[in-house]
């Protein structure tokens, strides 16, 4: 039976020759991820599985990033619970604040903890990020995380797939964020519900690894079970540079069955923004009209990597943030922060009037470091713009690329880099 890339990875981890869409399987896990919000719940459920120890202390990753550095006593208690569990269990991949830490979905690939062909679950919906590396990765609930930590396997319903054929090359200042926003606008927030978004085509080679991480990260915003990219020379070079274990490369069969095929021509893409209050509410920036803003956030697991900061700094350099705007820049990891410092990017941001933060999810989930008041508008490189996502229920979030966010910070309104 012909299989998609995702189905081949699931079949291999289930110990089966083949799987088909809709089938229920048990599959072994290569990595189980949790953060400071979801892990304490999983820790509470863990004893119910009758295990004293995790299945493999090298295959659990715990990252305090959502409310870390701790914003209040409750956040401190959450992190303390996770920290104590990690020490008691001898978890090898626990990443403390300041100790080469960062936002989980940028940190794990950077640390070489995920490789091509892996099966990864994480108690965070954006775990689908690692599909950029040719892995099957998906978000689960805290109880499923507890099961994964205890047993080293969990159940899956095998997804069908949508094939996204990519061709051409980006125009200047257009990036992976514009591609994924365009795709979500095209198919809707439920357009890929419980399906795999599988990217293919000659245009893939024009996408940087940062582009791919961004696109895979937001597959969930189209309702997808996962997003996944073919493994090419760029992927292999990234894995080698970050010390990942030996990859297992899976490719879709030529006659694999897809429920739908979508074609995207990178040559035709323009700077794109998602208006409130859904990622599918997309428009071209040049057609957005006059949208005055109060805040810009550049960062998150979606767009906080060094390439994202370089793109933003290239726009902001030599300018000042508009006096009516607060611009918050959050490097996704400690390593990205250091690289940005060495390259002079942090100086560019600071001289322009930006605030530069230590790595944290912070404002993305309405946690801290940039909460919006009633009526305020924010252009953000984050992944969700739901009602109340970044603060007051009557605030508004406009999702955009780092280049558009930087241009908007200078202009004081939603703007294209060319403006």
Say if CB 165 and CB 263 are below 8 A apart: yes
The answer to the question of residue 419 being in a domain is: no
Residues 365 and 244 in one domain: no
Whether 258 and 277 map to the same domain: the answer is no
Q: Which of 205, 229, 264 is the last residue of a domain?
A: 264
Tell me if the bond preceding 69 is cis, omega within 30° of 0: yes
User: 76 is in which domain, residue-wise?
Assistant: 5-264
pTM of the model: 0.94
Same domain, 100 and 244: yes
Residue pointed to by tokens 């514009």: 178
Query: Is there a domain that residue 416 lies in?
Result: no
When pLDDT is averaged across residues 142-162 and rounded to a whole number, the result is: 96
Judgement on whether residues 238 and 311 belong to the same structural domain of the protein = no
What's the structural domain count of the chain? 2
The answer to whether residues 20 and 146 belong to one domain is yes
Dump pLDDT digits (tens) for 89-145: 999 999 999 888 999 999 999 999 999 999 999 999 999 999 999 999 999 999 999
Whether residue 151 sits in one domain with residue 254: yes
Q: Are residues 12 and 113 in the same domain?
A: yes
Q: What's the pLDDT score for residue 117? A: 97
Q: Per-residue confidence at 419, pLDDT binned at 50, 70, 90?
A: confident
pLDDT at 418: 86
Whether 249 has a pLDDT exceeding 90, the answer reads yes
pLDDT score at 100? 82
Q: Mean pLDDT throughout 76-81?
A: 96
Nearest to 223 by CA among 270, 267, 305, 279: 279
pLDDT at 346: 97
Mean pLDDT of 136-163: 96
Confidence of residue 60 (pLDDT cuts 50, 70, 90): very high
Residue 320 shares a structural domain with residue 206: no
The per-residue pLDDT for 349 is 98
Same domain as 131, residue 46? yes
Average pLDDT, the chain: 96
High-pLDDT (> 70) share of the chain, %: 100
Q: What is the mean pLDDT of residues 182-207?
A: 95
CATH value at residue 327:
3.30.499.10
Choosing from 264, 288, 307, the residue where a domain stops is 264
Does the pLDDT value for residue 1 go beyond 90? no
| 349 and 329 co-located in one domain | yes
Residue 18 located in a structural domain: yes
Determine the distance from the C-alpha atom of residue 192 to the mean position of all C-alpha atoms in its chain, rounded to a whole number.
Answer: 17
pLDDT in the model for residue 252: 96
Contacts with 84 (C-beta within 8 Å, 6 or more apart), sequence order: none
Same-domain pairing of 242 and 297: no
Same domain, 345 and 226: no
Beta bridge mates, 199 = 164
The string of pLDDT tens digits covering residues 276-333 is 999 999 999 999 999 999 999 999 999 999 999 999 999 999 999 999 999 999 999 9
């Amino acid at each position: 039976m012909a299989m998609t890339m995702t189905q081949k990875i699931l079949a291999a981890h289930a110990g089966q020759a083949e799987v088909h869409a809709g089938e229920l399987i048990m599959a072994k896990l290569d990595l189980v991820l949790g953060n400071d919000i979801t892990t304490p719940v999983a820790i509470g459920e863990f004893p119910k599985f009758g295990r004293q120890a995790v299945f493999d202390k090298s295959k659990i990753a715990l990252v305090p990033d959502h409310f870390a550095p701790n914003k209040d006593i409750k956040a401190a208690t959450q992190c303390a619970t996770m920290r104590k569990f990690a020490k008691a269990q001898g978890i090898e991949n626990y990443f403390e604040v300041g100790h080469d830490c960062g936002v989980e979905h940028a940190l794990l690939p950077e640390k070489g903890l995920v490789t091509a062909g892996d099966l990864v679950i994480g108690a965070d919906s954006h775990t689908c990020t690692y599909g950029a590396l040719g892995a099957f990765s998906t978000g689960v609930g805290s109880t499923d995380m507890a099961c994964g930590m205890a047993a080293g396997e969990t159940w899956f319903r095998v997804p069908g797939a949508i094939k996204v054929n990519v061709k051409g090359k980006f125009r200047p200042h257009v990036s992976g964020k514009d591609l994924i926003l365009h795709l979500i606008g095209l198919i809707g927030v439920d357009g890929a519900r419980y399906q795999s978004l599988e990217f293919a085509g000659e245009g893939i080679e024009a996408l940087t690894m940062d582009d791919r991480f961004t696109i895979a990260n937001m597959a969930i915003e189209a309702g997808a079970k996962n997003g996944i990219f073919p493994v090419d020379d760029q992927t292999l070079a990234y894995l080698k540079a970050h010390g990942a274990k030996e990859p297992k490369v899976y490719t879709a069969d030529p006659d694999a069955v897809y429920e739908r095929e979508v074609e995207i021509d990178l040559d035709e893409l323009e700077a794109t923004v998602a208006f409130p209050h859904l990622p599918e509410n997309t428009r071209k920036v040049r057609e957005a009209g006059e949208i005055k803003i109060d805040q810009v956030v550049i960062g998150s697991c979606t767009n906080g990597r060094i390439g994202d900061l370089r793109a933003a700094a290239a726009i902001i350099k030599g300018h000042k943030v508009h006096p009516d705007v607060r611009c918050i820049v959050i490097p996704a990891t400690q390593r990205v922060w250091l690289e940005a410092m060495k390259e002079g990017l942090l100086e560019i941001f600071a001289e322009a009037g930006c605030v530069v933060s230590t790595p944290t999810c912070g404002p993305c989930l309405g946690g801290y470091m940039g909460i919006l008041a009633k009526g305020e508008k924010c252009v953000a490189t984050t992944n969700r713009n739901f009602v109340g996502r970044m603060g007051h229920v009557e605030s508004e979030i406009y999702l955009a690329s780092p280049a558009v966010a930087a241009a908007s910070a200078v202009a004081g309104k939603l703007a294209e880099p060319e403006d």
